[in-house]
Structure 1
């Protein structure tokens, strides 16, 4: 595949972003409170406003940022929490990203690419745990093209296990493709295409990606453009925090989001913000050049929720359980659970293996353990995929979301998927806390809506599956 970057320009104005960062240092209290008043309207923030909030140091103002984020999160998303698992298909890679265990020159890493039968084994394990949504992850080796990736997606969708075991949403994290390649993935029915720029600072990017296709900054920067040109409505972006100054990368990522909205009428469906974690033979991963403290990280998530209120915020198992719990209230709307980060990991009884995994996992709890915790805190686990199958994606989804659609449809749909899980996969302890939560949520619905939801819950009780509004 030719990496054609002719005519592409870097729309990330580094000088302008740094000017914004410097101009918003030590923001005055009155300015911060004015921004938070605006943020409560859930209409988003400018880069200047975002820069101010990212640099709040005063403890009282910091808590005000958190409280505003909690309010906006609750207003838009309610208490539902979407769950998914990553499924690594291959760890073969042609890049030499200095921070990654999968880098091509890491000779100690055991390389593996799953066969179709091994993919089916992995999917069956995940289905038997109750998963319905997967993120397929591929090492970026040039020999794995769109046709092969599409075939792995078909294998996942075709794998059906006992009870209600089926994958209803397959998202993809793979190397950037050309438009024709993305069209192939769109035709096979992928959901979100996810691609992280890692850092938007070109000098740092060049130093961290010395060889392989990934060294081409502009090819990667325009990957989401090409995906959307190919018809993929939902795309996800992200930055790997710790590689460069997080203030710069967050403002640059929001610039990227605005560029997509300008060209396609809608920005990213999801944003991710992983922190650099230790990885085999990657010294920089043990000593991040720009470490971000826990307090800065929490504020960053809260500020993202205010800056792009209707964009999904994804939290991975890189973070430990305490941090993950705190971030649920501050803005996270999608959560990975029971994750394993190498090919064949879910069928491997000895899964804690640094010789094969991409990075160290901070939260090793099982899916059910995560579910029990979030239910104890009043959250409804959701595996809903209704919007994608009914065409409520991209710009259409955002238009509906801004009219309160998430609460009207996504909330009851989350209850339906959770009821499925409780009947088909949950243990007794999880049912003991989960079923009362479902009942409490049903009791709080308006009468007309309540009857509709109750009728579908009853149908699930009678054995029907995959019901949604």
Structure 2
């Protein structure tokens, strides 16, 4: 269905955002510490406070920001880290985004749309690696509507392989739909609907999206409204850093989140902030007009954790191994692993192919290699989907999260899903590391909870699967 943005309001006030940014370029140490004293209470920050922290350059004050972010991250999420993989279903696209390898004018890109059998083949490969959570990614071509997307979701859920091979949560990244289209996706049991505005700066957006349905800024801006009206509780938003000034887009992103919370009682379930990476036949992708440095990027992640403490922060494999490791402590709660960015990639032995992928990735490690490193640093990999299947989503989830629910339930459930992985998919060295970590984590649980988790771990060792609290 062709976008119709008639009557839609632009609730992103660009003039006001720039006023906020420009009025907070200078913040003294006392102001920073006052903001951090508030932030450590995990009650969030105002847009002005966020803008101030984003622009702190003093090394000592930056370290104070990082330390506060570590405390907030640990207090809410502990050492639990959710893992997932993207699965590209099609790279056919009707848009002409200047920064994307999938743009319709890229004649060198090999176009492919997976058949039902090919989807099942890709899912089986991912399941045999141990994945339980997938993000399905679709090029934005008008011929792929909600019915077809819904059918691809059914194919994923219906694919069950050996051992404990099943996908328990399917998230979606696709073109914005109308309410009826989103309702069809909700009916087949999708988890989070994810869509990035890319940049909230209207003039830049228009320049970068000259043709295609994506050209309609307001239709895309209101995608989350329509998804939530259709019953999808969890939505994921983001910006593509490098297209415009990161300070503007970050404050705009948080303004968007505030708009959803005011209207629906809950903001986004997750936020993403990928940096622009090289893509086939895209000069902008190789030379970002507004590059963001590593130091700025690290501060951005820490500040987002303080601004929206209970919102999931996602980090993709665009970043290299070193940066991904460093950002875990500063606020990241979800991490993609073993990612490949084109249709059919997981069944392709020669996966490093710029002629087919959407963009270049910075971390090529396998799922097991990523798990080995994060376990070494004391993190518990999680594939838990209990809340979603029990209906604890949206506003209900946020209410529970603010009462310590994540630590009391999500952390023990992470141990159970990790135990499944160790038994069914892990190599001997990872098994040894993982079992040692689980034993250590059990000791830190209250006696009643420790008994309940130990009982389920024992049942998993004896063949039961998909147990949770």
Q: TM-score range by the shorter chain?
A: over 0.9
Match of 2:103 in 1: 103
Three-state SS of the structure 1 residue aligned to 2:345 is: coil
Give me the whole-angstrom Cα distance separating, in 2, the residues matched to 1:258 and 1:21. 17
Match of 2:430 in 1: 430
Q: Deviations over 1:430-465 (max 9, x none)?
A: 011110000000111111111001000000011000
Give the Å deviation of 1:55: 0.3
Q: Which runs of 5 or more residues in structure 2 are unaligned?
A: none
CA contact (8 A) 1:278 1:286 kept: yes
Give the Å deviation of 1:7: 1.2
Match of 2:307 in 1: 307
Match of 2:341 in 1: 341
Match of 2:198 in 1: 198
Match of 1:238 in 2: 238
Give the Å deviation of 1:6: 1.5
Matching of residues 110-149 of structure 1 within 5 Å = 110-149=110-149
Matching of residues 79-94 of structure 1 within 5 Å = 79-94=79-94
Is it true that 1:297 corresponds to 2:297 in the alignment? yes
Give me the whole-angstrom Cα distance separating, in 1, the residues matched to 2:285 and 2:173. 21
Give me the whole-angstrom Cα distance separating, in 2, the residues matched to 1:86 and 1:5. 30
Give me the whole-angstrom Cα distance separating, in 2, the residues matched to 1:176 and 1:342. 20
Give the Å deviation of 1:3: 1.4
Match of 2:281 in 1: 281
Is it true that 1:167 corresponds to 2:155 in the alignment? no
CA contact (8 A) 1:26 1:57 kept: no
CA contact (8 A) 1:241 1:292 kept: yes
Match of 1:22 in 2: 22
Give me the whole-angstrom Cα distance separating, in 1, the residues matched to 2:325 and 2:83. 14
Give the Å deviation of 1:4: 1.7
Q: CA RMSD in A?
A: 0.4
Matching of residues 55-454 of structure 1 within 5 Å = 55-454=55-454
Q: Deviations over 1:203-241 (max 9, x none)?
A: 000000000000000000000000000000000000000
Give me the whole-angstrom Cα distance separating, in 2, the residues matched to 1:25 and 1:6. 37
Give me the whole-angstrom Cα distance separating, in 2, the residues matched to 1:298 and 1:13. 26
Q: Which runs of 5 or more residues in structure 1 are unaligned?
A: none
Give me the whole-angstrom Cα distance separating, in 2, the residues matched to 1:145 and 1:25. 45
Give the Å deviation of 1:36: 0.2
CA contact (8 A) 1:18 1:248 kept: yes
Give me the whole-angstrom Cα distance separating, in 2, the residues matched to 1:29 and 1:17. 23
Give the Å deviation of 1:2: 3.1
Give me the whole-angstrom Cα distance separating, in 1, the residues matched to 2:59 and 2:370. 30
Three-state SS of the structure 2 residue aligned to 1:41 is: coil
Three-state SS of the structure 1 residue aligned to 2:347 is: coil
Q: Deviations over 1:237-275 (max 9, x none)?
A: 000000000000000000000000011000000000000
Give me the whole-angstrom Cα distance separating, in 2, the residues matched to 1:114 and 1:370. 27
Give me the whole-angstrom Cα distance separating, in 2, the residues matched to 1:20 and 1:280. 37
Give the Å deviation of 1:26: 1.9
Count of paired positions: 469
Give me the whole-angstrom Cα distance separating, in 2, the residues matched to 1:445 and 1:404. 14
Match of 2:465 in 1: 465
Match of 1:40 in 2: 40
Give me the whole-angstrom Cα distance separating, in 1, the residues matched to 2:322 and 2:4. 44
CA contact (8 A) 2:116 2:155 kept: yes
Three-state SS of the structure 2 residue aligned to 1:346 is: helix
Give me the whole-angstrom Cα distance separating, in 2, the residues matched to 1:109 and 1:92. 10
Give me the whole-angstrom Cα distance separating, in 1, the residues matched to 2:176 and 2:448. 47
Give me the whole-angstrom Cα distance separating, in 2, the residues matched to 1:450 and 1:278. 47
CA contact (8 A) 2:318 2:363 kept: yes
Give me the whole-angstrom Cα distance separating, in 2, the residues matched to 1:113 and 1:5. 29
CA contact (8 A) 2:2 2:213 kept: no
Give me the whole-angstrom Cα distance separating, in 1, the residues matched to 2:9 and 2:421. 48
Q: Which runs of 4+ in 1 moved over 4 A?
A: none
Give me the whole-angstrom Cα distance separating, in 2, the residues matched to 1:14 and 1:444. 48
